[in-house]
Structure 1
Amino acid sequence: MASRCGAFRPYSLRARTTLGIAALALVFLTAIGAGINFLVFNRVQAQIFDEAERVAVNWGGSLRPGGTPQPAPKGDIDLLQLVDSRGRVVAASPAAAGRPALSTVRPPADDRIQDFTECSGRDECVMLAAFRVFQPETSGTRPDEPLFVYAGVTQPPILTGYRLQLLTAAGVLLGVALTAWVNWRLAGKHLRPVGVIREHLSDITVSDLSLRVPQPSGCGEHALLVHTINQTLARLEEAVKLQRRFAATTSHELKTPLTGLRTQLEEAMLYPHDVDPRETIREALSATGRLEAIVDDLLVLARLRSGTPVAHEPIDLGALVAQEAAARTGGVPVHVHAGRDVHVRGNRIQLIRVLNNLLANARRHARTVIEVTAEHVDGQAVVTVTDDGDGIAPQDRERVFERFVRLDDGRRREPGGSGLGLAISRDIAHAHQGTLLIEDTPRGARFALRLPLHREAAVRADPPPDPGDTGDPRDSGAPRDAGRRLGHAERI
């Protein structure tokens, strides 16, 4: 993708931000330019009219009976004329001499001064101030005849045509171009680390996930992004390692029974008279059963690891423990001590599988008895399964929960096991926001399953003390031994 894309990509973040900011700059600068244009036009026009009014009033005020003073232009106001009521020019400045009356506008008596712009047929416009003068008698005029003083200047080029608007538009376009260029450079500078991250990520493949993106200094967005990417790569690398190890172990575990099955069948085909067909079929069925158990457990593990949602319901865990323990008849006896109000929310089938796996594991290693308890402790439902066997060494207490890991004693006691039962049990516990651990015990091994209590059960888990309760198990009708065992379980 990078090889086919140039520096300017219309849909890139850099291009989109530049175009967006340029559009905003165009809107704002256009509004500002229009405001400046309006202010400049009004300012220049107001200055000209103010000066023209001052000159007209000064000249009109200098008129005296019997003579007309010569106008003296001041500043930019060079067009001065004194016009009578019949439109005759009585006096004029050098710039207005020889010209007809500058305007035919006659200010009324109640509004003696007026400002306006007069345009002639020669496309020439003048800005004028007209002042009405009452002069008793001047040279060439009648005593009762009003006079009009016109003072002005040719309209300056900045107010003529569209020159001011064009200059403003040019300034707006220049400002937009400058803003877009600055944003393009800044965006490129800030997005350059993203390109570096992309280049490093393109070098990371499934065959080598050990590479990492160099971590920038500071706590900016790029540094946080790189930190998250490296964490994701680390998790991905660990997951790939686990998958590869799982695939290798699975192939080994499946290859052993398949090889034995193939050997038995080939032997039956090659030596039909020396092999008992019934014995061969029986052994083949045994190997097939082991293969089926391994495949089923692998499917359960895959569903648990994929996070596939399953239906949860309120479950009386104490009753479920008693029910599953009672279903196992024969062999080592199982003593169950299940408390009341041990309710959880979970999947019944999965929790039954955990209990069966723990009971089966305890039965393989127990010598005389298996102790099972179910109670609520500190807002959690706790199920313990304890056997009186040889126990599990501390260094092996986590290994037994790995897939296909079976200790030597377990292989000797049950050669056909899949080695996935405890791994599945722990995954089910985690899927229920719980834990499954091996705890210390004076003898044998104790597996402790801890699950969150159901919300309603948690409220009932710690009822107010009964004033008539002496704390003696005999008062509640429970066996004394059961009270001691439950008390021991709470101290674990």
Structure 2
Amino acid sequence: MSIRPGVFLPLSHSIQARVTLTVAVVSVLVAAVITVGLCLLIRHRTESEIFRETRRVATEWIGLMERGQVSPPMATARVPLVQLVDSQGRVTVAGPMAGDRPLSTVRPSEEDRFRDVTECPESERCVMLTAGRVPSLQAWELLKGEPHFVYVGTDEPPVLRGHRLEFLVGSGGALLAALWTWTTWRATGRVLRPINAIGQRLSEITANDLSLRVPQPSGPDEIARLARAANQTLGRLESAVTRQREFAAIVSHELKSPLTGLRTGLEEALLYPEIDARQAIARSLPAADRMQQIIDELLAFARLRNTPCSSQPVDLGALVRAEAAARTTGVPVRARIEPDVRVLGNRVQLASIVTNLLLNAQRHATGLVDVSAERIGAQALVVVLDDGDGVADEDRERIFEPFTRLEAGRRLDPDGSGLGLALCRAIAVAHDGSLCVEDSPRGARFVLRLPLLTG
């Protein structure tokens, strides 16, 4: 097994590029809306302030006109352009900066006496002004009834001339959108940099070298948790592959001896005609039986580890009592069973655990084997205790490894495969339980723990 080296995605497939492009589009839209709204707001407020001032000056000047006398123009610093124009378009009175040409040709009516306009003569600057009509009564008293118009205005501010305002605000919006886009690109790249490093390291890992680990950022964020999960997975994978290699090596070693004996016997029958073929075959059968036993136990062990077992309610106490009663040969077995010790599991597999433990205990016991089934809290407890020599502390875990056989086991059971206890523990783990060797005054004390069936 190998992991194919990673290939970097083109920019169009990059998360960083896609996120940045999305933010750029949104930024441009938001900046455009802000620009348009800000331009309209600035233009409206500026024009409102100017026209409010021009209308105020025009209203006050018209109000100061008395019978037979027109007061001087009320020009101010903010409103320097003031004119009084008759109906023929002649400037009657004007401020010093207004000139002798009418500022506008707008003629407000009696119903709408004031109008705000912006005049932009050709090749001249624009003027923002208020055109006001002198009331008819004052026109009769003051100006012999001829309609007169007041023009009060000022030069258009530079910010409102042409598209200068839109250009300035638009430039600011474009700069803001560019800043958002650049910040998003940098931030996304910084966030994705650990992920790229993880992907690069994963592409370097092969089945021949599972010791590599991905870079693990500090902190509790999602990327750090991803790196930790990846390293934990790689650790479990390395352990599993290591166990498989060791298991394959042990299987090869265990099968080598019977296979060699079988081959030797068959070759002798072929090379030496004087050897009786039936006798040669008969001498080879034990080696074949040995191989078959190992293969059967290996298949059961592999099937148990890779296939979930079917579960049903099992009266564990009755099962232990039946298995103990079946041990009619060898060292006596004494059973102590509590009532209603029920678990959920596969009856055949649980029975194989009890059988293997009892056979192992009888093999090592000198006078008696005790087996018990009881309830301890939320667990069912099966204890098999013999009065033999026991198991050394350093060997209590090793005996559950496949093909591990201690010296005493080889002496008492020369034909054993070393898979019995490994298979028992695998069944216990498959049932969410445990199997281990615990301390005892004498002999070996095997303890099987399984979850009790509740409800």
| Alignment size in residue pairs | 450
Do the aligned residues in 1 keep the contact of 2:308 with 2:430 (CA within 8 Å)?
no
Residue 426 of structure 1: aligned partner:
425
Following the alignment from structure 1 to structure 2, what is the Cα–Cα distance between the partners of residues 259 and 148? 128
Provide the rounded CA distance (Å) in 2 between the counterparts of 1:340 and 1:160: 101
Partner Cα distance (2:247, 2:235) in 1: 18
Corresponding residue SS for 1:331: coil
User: 2:274 — aligned with what?
Assistant: 273
Show the 5 A alignment for 1:381-420.
381-420=380-419
Taking the aligned partners of 1:47 and 1:432, their CA distance within structure 2 comes to: 85
2:440 match: 441
- Post-superposition offset of 1:160: 5.8
- Aligned partner of 2:109: which letter? R
The counterpart of 1:63, out of the listed 62, 65, 80, is 65
Identity of aligned residues (%): 49
Does the Cα contact within 8 Å between 2:309 and 2:430 map onto a contact in 1? no
Query: How much has 1:117 moved relative to structure 2?
Result: 4.6
Tell me by how many angstroms 1:72 deviates: 5.4
Cα distance in 2 between the residues matched to 1:36 and 1:153? 23
Measure, in 2, the Cα distance between the counterparts of 1:388 and 1:441. 10
CA distance in 2, matches of 1:339, 1:266: 58
Could you tell me how far apart the structure 1 residues matched to 2:280 and 2:83 are? Answer: 136
Contact 1:68 1:139 in 2 (8 A): no
- Structure 1 residues 96 and 356 mapped into 2: Cα distance closer, same or farther (>3 Å)? farther
Q: What residue number does 2:368 align with? A: 369
Partner of 2:287: 287
Deviation readout 1:58-105 (Å, 9 max, x if unpaired): 332342333434535433545433245677654445545234852022
Q: What does 1:290-301 align with in structure 2 at a 5 Å threshold?
A: 290-301=290-301
SS at the partner of 2:440? coil
Q: Distance in 2 between matches of 1:223 and 1:140?
A: 89
> What code does the residue aligned with 1:208 have?
D
Compute the TM-score of the two structures, normalised by the length of structure 2.
Answer: 0.86
TM-aligned CA deviation for residue 393 of structure 1: 2.3
How far the C-alpha of 1:42 sits from its partner, in A, is 1.0
Q: Determine the structure 1 residue equivalent to 2:27.
A: 25
Q: Quote the residue 1:339 is aligned against.
A: 338
Output the CA distance in 1 between the equivalents of 2:215 and 2:185: 25
| Aligned residue runs from structure 1 range 291-370, under 5 A | 291-306=291-306, 308-370=307-369
Write the deviation string for residues 409-431 of structure 1: whole angstroms up to 9, x where unpaired.
22222222221110111111112
* Change in 2 beyond 3 A, CA 1:105/1:119: farther
Code of the aligned partner of 1:256: S
Amino acid at match of 1:39: L
Match among 74, 80, 83 for residue 82 of structure 2: 80
Who is 1:177 aligned against?
Answer: 178
**Number of the residue aligned with 1:484:** none
How many angstroms does 1:342 deviate by? 0.1
**Aligned-residue offset at 1:303:** 3.3
> What's the CA shift for 1:122?
9.5
Distance 1:274 1:445 in 2: 48
Q: Using a 3 Å threshold, how does the CA distance of structure 1 residues 245 and 154 change in structure 2: closer, same or farther?
A: same
In the TM superposition, what whole-angstrom CA distance separates every residue of 1:194-228 from its partner, at most 9, and x where no partner exists? 44444444444333333445665666666555444
Is 1:380 the counterpart of 2:379 in the alignment?
Answer: yes
- Corresponding residue for residue 144 of structure 2: 142
Match in the other structure for 1:252: 253
Partner amino acid for 2:60?
Answer: N
**Aligned-pair Cα RMSD in Å:** 3.3
Amino acid in structure 2 at the alignment position of 1:303: R
Cα distance, 1:27–1:304 mapped onto 2, change above 3 Å: farther
| Structure 2 CA distance for partners of 1:305 and 1:140, relative to 1, 3 Å | same
Query: Compared with structure 1, are the counterparts of its residues 40 and 341 closer, same or farther at alpha carbon in structure 2 (3 Å cutoff)?
Result: same
Indicate how the Cα distance of structure 1 residues 283 and 388 shifts in structure 2: closer, same or farther if over 3 A, else same. farther
Q: Say whether residues 1:104 and 2:110 are aligned partners.
A: no
Return 5+ residue gaps in structure 2 as ranges: none
One-letter amino acid of the counterpart of residue 97, structure 1 = D
Amino acid at match of 2:311: H
After superposition, the C-alpha distances for 1:271-318 in whole angstroms (9 at most, x for unaligned) are 2432351x4334433333322222232233323333x32221111111
Retained in 2: the 8 A contact 1:375–1:381? yes
The 3-state SS of whatever aligns with 1:209 is coil
Match of 1:47?
Answer: 49
Question: In 2, Cα distance between the equivalents of 1:191 and 1:213?
Answer: 14
Aligned-partner Cα distance in 1 for 2:355–2:124: 107
How far residue 454 of structure 1 moved from its aligned partner, in angstroms, is: 0.8
Verify the 8 A CA contact 1:64 1:138 in the aligned structure 2: no
In 1, are the aligned partners of 2:311 and 2:344 still within 8 Å (CA)?
yes
**1:106 Cα deviation from its structure 2 partner:** 1.9
Instruction: Give the TM-score of the pair, scaled to structure 1.
Output: 0.80
Give the conservation status (yes or no) of the 8 Å contact 2:5–2:204.
Answer: no
Partner amino acid, structure 1, of 2:132: F
